[in-house]
C-alpha cells in the first residue's frame, strides 16, 4: 500500500486512517482504490469476488461526508471509509456468494447479512468476498473449490481455516480488517497462524442472519483485525439484538471500545491455566511463547491458577458428531431443485438418483465426508447412540467451564498445538487435521467468547497466538485483557 498512498502515512488501524482523513493526507476514494489495486494483484488467492463498484460508491459517500463535516463524524460513522473483506459465507445483496463451493458458484443473494449491513451503515467500504474452506469445513483453507489461500508471509504454509482468506487479507495488507466465521476455531486458528487478532463472541451476541449455515448451534461471526482495539470497533458496530435471528441475544449494546481501552485492575484478575491444554503433542516453541505470556500477566499482578477441564479429551469427538449432524441437516437443502447448482436440462434424465448424484458432485470431498458422517449419526437406530450422547457430553464440557469460572476470571491457553503447517502436510489425514482444533473446539461447544492475540514467533518466524477465554457475554473484559497484553511493550 505504501507506494500507492504515500510512504509517510502510517495507517494500519482505523484510528490512524481516520486521522489521515482528518488531516487531508488521505481520502477514502484513494484509499479504496489503493486497496483494490493491491488485492487484485495479490498472489495469495485471498479474495474470490471483488465489489469494485459498490466499494467505490461507498468511498465517495464517505468522502462527501468528511468534506461536509470537516472531519470524520466518528460517533455516527465509526468505520467511515474503512475498507473491509467479508468471508464468502456471509451474504451481500447483488454480490456473488459461493461458500467457496461449486454448489453455489453462481449464487447471487437478494439480501445482506445483518452484520454486514451494520458495518455498511457505520460507513465501512466492502472490498469483496474472501476465500475459505468450502462451506467453512476445514482448518487449512485447502478445501476451497477455487484453490487454496497462501499464508501471508510463508507461501509454503497454510493460513489456517476456515477463514484463511480473511486472515491472509488482513495480514498481507489487502484490507484493513475482515469478517470470519467460527464454528470450531475458524476465526482464532487462522488468526494465530497469520499473526493477527481474531475474536469469537458469545453464541448469540452477533446475528447469524445471512450467515450460510454449517452447524447452527456452533456457528458465530467474528472480527479479524490487526489490533484488539479494531476488533472492539467492529464488534461494537455489529453487536445487538436482531429480530431476524431467533438465537440472537436480547442483551443491550455496550461500549466495547471504551471498555477495551481501560486499564485492568490486575490485583483482582485470576487467570486459569488448564492442565489439559499443556500436554504432549504441544510444540515446545508454542508452549514457551504461551508460558512467557502467562508470566507477563503474573508480573502485572494477576494471579495464575491451575485448573482442570476434565472432559476436554472428549471435545473433538463430540464436536465432530454434533457439527457433522447439523451439517447433514443444513446442507440437505442443496438438491438442485430448491438450492444449489442444477445440471443442464440436456443432461437431465427421468432417473432421480442420477439427478441427485450429478447435483451432489458439486460438493468437495471434505463436505461429502461430513454429510455422510452426519447422515449416518442421525439415521434410525443410531441417533441415540451418537448424536444424543454427544449432546449430553457437550453439556459436561459446558459444566467444566462453568465450574472453572467460579474461581477464575479468564482462561488462557495455546490456540493450536503447532504453528502453521505446510501445504498438503495434513490433507490426506483428516484426523490429524481435526486434532489441530483441540484447544478451540471446547469454546464453541460451550458457546463462550474467546480470542487469539499474537504472543510470539517460532524459530522460522511463524506466528503464535495466545488463546484467551472469558465467561459468556464478558467480551468487554476479554478485549480489555487482550488489549493490555497487546500493548505490553508499547
Identify whether 186 is a catalytic site residue: yes
* Catalytic option among 27, 87, 192, 200: 87
β-bridge pairing 450-457 and 303-307? unpaired
Catalytic residue of the set 162, 163, 289, 413: 162
Q: Is the peptide bond before 162 cis (omega within 30 degrees of 0)?
A: yes
196: which DSSP letter? Answer: S
C-alpha cell recorded at residue 21: 482523513
Contact indicator for 161, 131 with CB cutoff of 8 Å: no
- At 175, is the secondary structure helix, strand, or coil? coil
Read off the C-alpha cell for 403: 465450574
**DSSP character at residue 313:** G
Could you write out the DSSP letters of every residue in 438-466? TTTHHHHHHT--EEEEEEEE-TT--EEEE
Q: CB count, 10 Å around CB of 13?
A: 18
C-beta of residue 426 within 8 angstroms of C-beta of residue 156: no
- From the list 27, 101, 166, 186, the catalytic residue is 186
Rg of the Cα atoms in the chain:
22
114 contacts 241 by C-beta, under 8 angstroms: no
At 433, list the grid cell: 487435521
Mark out the alpha helices in 24-159 (DSSP H runs).
28-41, 52-69, 114-121
Indicate if 162 belongs to the active site.
Answer: yes
Residue 87 neighbours by CB under 8 Å, 6+ apart? 129, 130, 132, 163, 165, 166, 178, 179, 180, 181
Bridge partners, 126 (sequence order): 84
Beta strands in 131-252 (DSSP E): 177-181, 197-200, 221-225
Let me know: does 413 contact 467? Beta carbons within 8 Å: yes
Neighbours of 186 (CB within 10 A): 37
DSSP per position, 315-365? HHHHHHHHHHHHHHHHGGG-SSSSSS----GGG--S-HHHHHHHHHTTS-H
Do residues 176 and 17 lie in contact, with contact meaning Cβ atoms separated by under 8 Å? yes
CA distance 70 to 73: 9
- For this structure, is 489 an active site residue? no
Residue positions annotated with a catalytic role: 87, 162, 186
Amino acid at each position: 500500500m505504501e507506494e500507492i498512498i504515500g510512504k509517510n502515512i502510517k495507517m494500519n488501524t482505523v484510528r490512524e486512517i481516520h486521522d489521515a482523513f482528518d488531516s487531508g493526507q488521505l481520502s477514502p476514494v484513494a484509499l479504496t482504490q489503493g486497496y483494490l489495486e493491491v488485492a487484485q494483484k495479490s498472489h495469495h488467492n485471498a479474495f474470490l469476488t471483488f465489489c469494485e463498484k459498490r466499494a467505490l460508491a461507498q468511498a465517495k459517500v464517505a468522502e462527501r461526508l468528511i468534506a461536509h463535516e470537516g472531519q470524520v463524524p466518528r460517533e455516527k460513522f465509526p468505520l467511515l471509509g474503512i475498507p473491509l473483506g467479508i468471508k464468502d459465507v456471509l451474504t451481500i445483496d447483488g454480490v456473488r456468494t459461493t461458500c467457496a463451493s461449486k454448489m453455489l458458484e453462481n449464487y447471487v443473494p437478494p439480501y445482506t447479512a445483518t452484520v454486514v449491513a451494520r458495518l455498511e451503515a457505520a460507513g465501512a467500504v466492502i472490498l469483496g468476498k474472501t476465500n475459505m474452506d468450502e462451506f467453512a469445513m476445514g482448518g487449512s483453507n485447502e478445501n476451497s473449490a477455487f484453490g487454496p489461500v497462501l499464508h501471508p508471509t510463508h507461501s509454503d504454509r497454510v493460513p489456517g481455516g476456515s477463514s484463511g482468506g480473511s486472515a491472509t487479507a488482513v495480514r498481507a495488507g489487502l484490507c484493513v480488517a475482515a469478517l470470519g466465521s467460527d464454528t470450531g476455531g475458524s476465526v482464532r486458528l487462522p488468526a494465530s497462524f497469520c499473526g493477527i487478532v481474531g475474536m469469537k463472541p458469545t453464541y448469540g451476541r452477533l446475528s447469524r442472519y445471512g450467515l450460510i449455515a454449517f452447524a447452527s448451534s456452533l456457528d458465530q461471526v467474528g472480527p479479524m483485525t490487526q489490533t484488539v482495539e479494531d476488533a472492539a470497533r467492529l464488534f461494537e458496530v455489529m453487536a445487538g439484538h436482531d429480530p431476524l435471528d431467533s438465537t440472537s441475544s436480547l442483551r443491550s449494546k455496550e461500549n466495547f471500545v471504551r471498555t477495551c481501552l481501560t486499564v485492568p485492575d490486575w490485583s483482582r484478575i485470576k487467570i486459569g491455566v488448564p492442565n489439559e491444554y499443556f500436554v504432549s503433542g504441544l510444540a515446545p516453541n508454542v508452549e514457551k511463547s504461551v508460558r512467557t505470556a502467562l508470566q507477563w500477566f503474573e508480573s502485572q499482578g494477576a494471579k495464575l491458577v491451575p485448573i482442570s477441564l476434565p472432559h476436554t479429551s472428549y471435545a473433538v469427538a463430540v464436536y465432530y458428531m454434533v457439527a457433522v449432524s447439523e451439517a447433514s441437516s443444513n446442507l440437505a437443502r442443496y438438491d438442485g431443485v430448491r438450492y444449489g447448482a442444477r445440471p443442464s436440462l440436456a443432461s437431465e434424465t427421468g432417473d432421480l438418483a442420477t439427478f441427485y448424484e450429478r447435483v451432489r458432485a458439486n460438493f468437495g470431498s471434505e463436505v461429502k465426508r461430513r454429510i455422510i458422517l452426519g447422515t449416518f449419526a442421525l439415521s434410525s437406530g443410531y441417533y441415540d447412540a451418537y448424536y444424543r450422547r454427544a449432546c449430553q457430553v457437550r453439556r459436561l464440557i459446558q459444566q467444566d467451564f462453568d465450574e472453572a469460572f467460579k474461581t477464575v476470571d479468564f482462561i488462557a491457553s495455546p490456540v493450536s498445538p503447532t504453528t502453521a503447517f505446510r501445504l498438503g502436510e495434513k490433507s490426506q489425514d483428516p484426523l490429524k487435521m481435526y486434532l489441530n482444533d483441540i484447544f478451540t473446539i471446547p469454546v464453541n461447544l460451550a458457546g463462550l467468547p474467546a480470542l487469539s492475540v499474537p504472543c510470539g514467533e517460532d524459530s522460522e518466524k511463524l506466528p503464535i497466538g495466545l488463546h484467551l477465554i472469558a465467561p459468556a457475554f464478558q467480551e468487554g473484559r476479554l478485549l480489555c485483557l487482550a488489549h493490555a497484553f497487546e500493548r505490553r511493550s508499547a
